[in-house]
């Protein structure tokens, strides 16, 4: 009967099918060992069953579901009965999250993962974090960071948002320059959705990445808290320039006064006439 077997004909009692094997047919002579990715314990039915999603098993004849191996962090195992947890792809080298910086800088520490056609898992998609046993990528990259392929909980804080930009939750590595810092704010490295605002009385251009990029205007600079020496110097320089320009305009106006009118007849000749003295009697 199904679920049992016998090695010889004429046995009065059949033997129970052992764990790790299946005996699905009547008159089973030799139990069939469970394939890779499958399991059967004595508590299960007469046939082998697949390891659940999020796990894998490279061995045959597994005797308990607890022996199915959790898929590695940074991977998504969305199918049952997986016999490996290698990332699927067409023999392409893919840079994973923790090596984005070294690889873009062309350092010797750059490491890539080879995607394999027979792989049964997938790299965690960009913008998500995948722990062990992940079946569906649902946890987004944390606020203020960006995540590439294959991000795990251990590597989710490796890549801070670049300076001059902000990265909301779920930012992908390919979209890290999507959100430039807004005007009147500054965004240092690692800025999330809450942008630091320039101090009162100052402003900044878009993509500002430091508080020193916040510029004070000449009217309200003294209202800044805390007051910065550089801002005082800047305001003093502007006032001094305006004062010097006004003084220069005043001197120029004094030099441009019209000359006094000449006496009658002076326009006829430009030199004085010499008259000799009359002789004495």
d(CA 215, CA 203) in angstroms, rounded, equals: 5
Query: Among the ranges 149-153, 214-218, 241-245, which has the highest mean pLDDT value?
Result: 149-153
Supply the pLDDT for residue 266: 45
d(CA 146, CA 97) in angstroms, rounded, equals: 9
Supply the pLDDT for residue 276: 45
pLDDT beyond 90 at 237: no
Do the bridges between strand 69-70 and strand 15-16 make them parallel or antiparallel, or are there none, so unpaired? Answer: unpaired
In three-state form (DSSP H/G/I as H, E/B as E, the rest C), the secondary structure along 48-84 is: CEECCCCEECCCCCECCHHHCEECCCCEECCCCCCCC
pLDDT beyond 50 at 210: yes
Share of the chain above pLDDT 70, in %: 81
pLDDT category of residue 133 using cuts at 50, 70 and 90: very high
Q: How far is CA 110 from CA 94, 130, 160, in A?
A: 11, 22, 18
pLDDT beyond 80 at 242: yes
Could you read off the pLDDT of 50-69 as tens digits, one per residue?
A: 999 999 999 999 999 999 99
For residues 57 and 37, the answer to whether their CB atoms sit within 8 Å is: yes
pLDDT beyond 90 at 226: no
pLDDT beyond 70 at 74: yes
| Radius of gyration of the CA atoms of the chain, in A | 43
- Average pLDDT on 247-269 reads 58
For residues 223 and 210, the answer to whether their CB atoms sit within 8 Å is: no
- Average pLDDT on 12-24 reads 85
pLDDT category of residue 15 using cuts at 50, 70 and 90: confident
Tokens 């045959």 correspond to 60
């Amino acid at each position: 009967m199904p679920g049992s077997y016998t090695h010889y004909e004429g046995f009065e009692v059949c033997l129970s099918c052992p764990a790790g094997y299946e005996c699905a047919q009547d008159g089973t002579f030799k139990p069939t060992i469970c394939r890779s990715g499958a399991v059967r314990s004595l508590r299960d039915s007469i046939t082998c069953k697949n390891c659940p999603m999020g796990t894998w098993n490279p061995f045959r004849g597994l005797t308990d579901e607890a022996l199915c191996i959790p898929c590695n962090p940074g991977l998504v195992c969305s199918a049952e009965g997986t016999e490996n947890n290698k990332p699927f792809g067409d023999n392409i080298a893919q840079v994973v999250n923790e090596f984005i910086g070294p690889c873009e800088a062309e350092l010797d520490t750059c490491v890539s993962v080879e995607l394999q056609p027979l792989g049964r898992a997938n790299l965690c998609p960009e913008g998500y974090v995948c722990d062990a046993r992940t079946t569906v990528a649902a946890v987004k990259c944390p606020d203020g960071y960006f995540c590439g392929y294959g991000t795990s909980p251990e590597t989710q804080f490796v890549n801070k948002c670049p300076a001059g930009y902000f990265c909301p939750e779920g930012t992908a590595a390919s979209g890290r320059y999507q959100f430039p810092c807004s005007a009147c704010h500054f965004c240092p490295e690692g800025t999330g959705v809450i942008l630091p605002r320039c101090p009162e009385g100052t402003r900044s251009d878009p993509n500002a990445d430091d508080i020193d990029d916040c510029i004070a205007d000449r009217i309200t600079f003294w209202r800044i808290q805390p007051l910065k020496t550089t801002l005082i110097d800047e305001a003093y320089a502007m006032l001094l320039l305006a004062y010097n320009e006004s003084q220069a305009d005043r001197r120029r106006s004094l030099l441009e006064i019209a000359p006094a009118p000449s006496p009658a007849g002076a326009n006829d000749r430009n030199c004085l006439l010499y008259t000799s003295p009359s002789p004495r009697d």
